[in-house]
Amino acid sequence: MRISGRQLFWLVFSIEIMLAMLYSVSATVTAAGQDTWISMLLAGLIGLGIVLLIVKLSMRYPQQTFVQYSQTIMGKWAGRLLIVPYFIMWIFLNSMVLRNSADFVYLALFTKTPLYVIMVTLMILVVYVVFTGGLTGIARCGELMGPIILVVILGTCLLSINHLNWHLLTPVFWDSGGTGILKGTLPAAAFYGDVIMFSMVFAFMSNPKQALSRTMWGIALSSVLVLFGAALVIMTFGPELPARMWAPFFGMTRFISVLGFIQNVDIFVVVIWLFSAFIKLSLFLFVTVYGTAQWLNLKNWRSLIWVLAPLILIFALLPQNATAPIKDYVQQFWLPYVIPINVIGIPLLLWGVSMMRGKSSQRKERPE
């Protein structure tokens, strides 16, 4: 299983774009009003910072996955202990993304179809690609679907140009102020935290030197698009309505009307969202399954799919209603625990220890 730099770029892009595009805008507008785009800019920079940390750490051990090099750095048992929070994060992130995707599809398209049907069918697809294609298959799907996602998003933005009001972006900075903008940055930046999943992927790069630049470009492109998307949303709906909307960017696509004929193109956004969710879910499932297999020292990682996929499905079915997963999850689980511990804390710790050990650890790795 090897992936190219181009494939990594499209994977990062298609995984980061949709969730941030749809869900981060609403939370950010609540805090930052018409200055949302500044918040988005800062969030993108924070995302790039996270990438820098994770890639720099991973590139010290270019042949090893996160699970492996944490053991190389901290020793066998401490390293394994460090993976426990990640294992929890993998399982929950998987089930939450599954739940979110299904909820979105459900709200956008269905009224009577049971939610579990959407989840089960989505899971079948994900298991299909992870089982038959592995990372290679996922990366190829990403390379194929990523450009489609990009084109549709750019198309939606272009089509919504005709009813924009530039004045809605003013006054800049006065209303929200520094605190408002920073408060808005946090929920937006949180969406880029899941780039930590890629610490398991860099080891499969056919040319590890490209890891940093391609991941950076992927995050940069998606955050720039989210920035533009947020600005377009505000220029369409003003600074008040998006805060109360469930997915403002989606609302904006529902608002498109060109020549009175190109209307209700939101269905294409749903399909694109499905593509993105599919890639996201399959990469995350792969990371979860492969990481768990390495963690438990299992040779046949594929057989773990049959254990973990149902587990994820069950966790995804647990929350009661549609707003609970996205809001509560970000507020109660992702922001207070995952971001400080999994995304920043442990990688920094590992980096520090690895720096202190210096070259000795690198030499140890060579013979293998």
Partner 1 sequence: MSNRFKRMLSKDRAPRADHLRLDDELSGQKVSASLNHNEERLRDIFRNCSDVRLRPLHLGEGTRALVIFVDGLVDAKGLEEVLLLPLMARGQHYGEHPQSSIKELFDLQAVAARQTELTGDLSELVRGILGGQVALLAEGEEQALLGNMSDPEKRPIGEPGTESVVRGPREGLTESLMTNISLIRRRIRSPKLKFERTTIGELSQTRTSIAYIEGIVKPEIVDEVRRRLDRIRTDAILDSGYIEEFIEDTPHSPFPSVQNTERPDVVIAGLLEGRVAIIVDGTPFVLIVPLTIWSALHAAEDYYEHFIYTSAIRMLRFFLLSVSFLLPSFYVAITTFHPQLIPEALLLTIAAARENVPFPAVVEAFLMEVVFEALREAGIRLPKPVGSAVSMVGGLVIGESAVHAGVVSAPTVIVVAFTGIASFSLPRYNLGLAFRLLRFPLLLLAGSLGIYGMGFGVIALIVHLVNLQSFGVPYLAPVTPRLSGNLKDIFIRMPRWAMNERPAFLVGENDTRTPKGQNPANNKGADNE
Partner 2 sequence: MSVRWRRTSLIVLLLLLMTGCWDRRELNEQALIFAWGMDLNDDGSYQATAQFAIPHKMGSNSGGAGRAFFTISGNGGSIYEAAKDIQLKVSRAWFAGHRRAILIGERLAKSGLAPILDEYSRNPIVRLRTDILVVKGISVADFLALSYPLEQLSASAFFRIHQASDLNPDLTMRDFLMAHASEEDCPVLPVVTAQAKPLSDEDKQSGAGLRLWGTAIFDKDARLVGNLPQKKAHTVYWIKGQLGSTIRPVKIPGEENEIITELNRLSAKIKTTVENGDILIGIQLGGYGILRENNTQLDLSRSQKIIMVQNYLNEQTADEVKGVIQEIQALGTDVLGFGLAVHRQHPQEWRTLKKDWPRHFRKARVEVEVKARLEETGMTGSSLVLKKNELRP
Least distance to partner 1, CB of residue 125, Å: 5
SS3 string of the chain?
CCECHHHHHHHHHHHHHHHHHHHHHHHHHHHHHHHHHHHHHHHHHHHHHHHHHHHHHHHCCCCCCHHHHHHHHHCHHHHHHHHHHHHHHHHHHHHHHHHHHHHHHHHHHCCCCCHHHHHHHHHHHHHHHHHHHHHHHHHHHHHHHHHHHHHHHHHHHHHHHHHCCHHHHCCCCCCCHHHHHHHHHHHHHHHHHHHHHHHHCHHHECCHHHHHHHHHHHHHHHHHHHHHHHHHHHHHHCCCHHHHCCCHHHHHHHCCEECCCEECCHHHHHHHHHHHHHHHHHHHHHHHHHHHHHHCCCCCHHHHHHHHHHHHHHHHHCCCCCHHHHHHHHHHHHHHHHHHHHHHHHHHHHHHHHHHHCHHHHHHHCCC
* Per-residue binder mask for partner 2 (CB under 8 A), 293-332, x = binder: ----------------------------------------
255 binds, among partner 2, partner 1, none (CB under 5 to 8 A by kind): partner 2
291 binds partner 2 (CB under 8 A): no
240 binds, among partner 2, partner 1, none (CB under 5 to 8 A by kind): partner 2
- Applying CB under 8 A, the site for partner 2 has a residue count of 34
Based on the shown chain and the rule CB under 8 A, indicate whether residue 23 belongs to the binding site for partner 2: no
Residues in 261-280 that interact with partner 2 by CB under 8 A: 263-264
Binder among 158, 240, 323, 336 for partner 2 (CB under 8 A): 240
Q: Is residue 120 a contact point for partner 2 (CB under 8 A)?
A: yes
What residues make contact with partner 1 under the rule CB under 8 A? Answer: 4, 6-7, 105, 109-110, 113, 117-118, 121-122, 125, 128-129, 132-133, 137, 139-141, 143-145, 260-261, 263-264, 267, 270-271, 274-275, 278
CB of 130 to partner 2, least distance (A): 13
Would you count residue 206 as binding partner 2 (CB under 8 A)? Answer: no
Residues found near partner 2 in the complex (CB under 8 A): 107-114, 117, 120-121, 124, 128, 131-132, 163, 167, 170-171, 174-175, 236-241, 244, 251, 254-255, 257, 263-264
